[in-house]
Amino acid sequence: MNVLIPAPLRSYTGHRRVEAVGSSLAEVLTDLDRQFPGIRFRMINEQERMRPHIRFFVNGAQTFDLSLPLRSTDEVVIVQALSGG
């Protein structure tokens, strides 16, 4: 499936869009980490939870569910929020 990578994580992929496989969001993130070692840890913490500054959208709908079932035709967009003050 098509995965859109945010600019702060492109140092891992070298590309704005990449292909990944998996039947759930968690599996897609694992496949991304297989292809681009270290990228998953930037999105998922040690407790297997999404980091607060990361958002996932599947086909335009935001999700917080790593077990969300996916199809090969779905599009995953990863957004990294900016913070500061």
Q: Which residues pair with 24 in a beta bridge?
A: 69
pLDDT in tens, the chain (85 residues): 999 999 999 999 999 999 999 999 999 999 999 999 999 999 999 999 999 999 999 999 999 999 999 999 999 999 998 765 5
The pLDDT of residue 79 is 97
Structure tokens at 31: 């496949």
The pLDDT of residue 84 is 59
The CATH number that domain 2-80 falls under is 3.10.20.30
Nearest-CA neighbor of 9 among 42, 31, 32? 42
Q: How many CB atoms lie within 10 A of CB 3?
A: 21
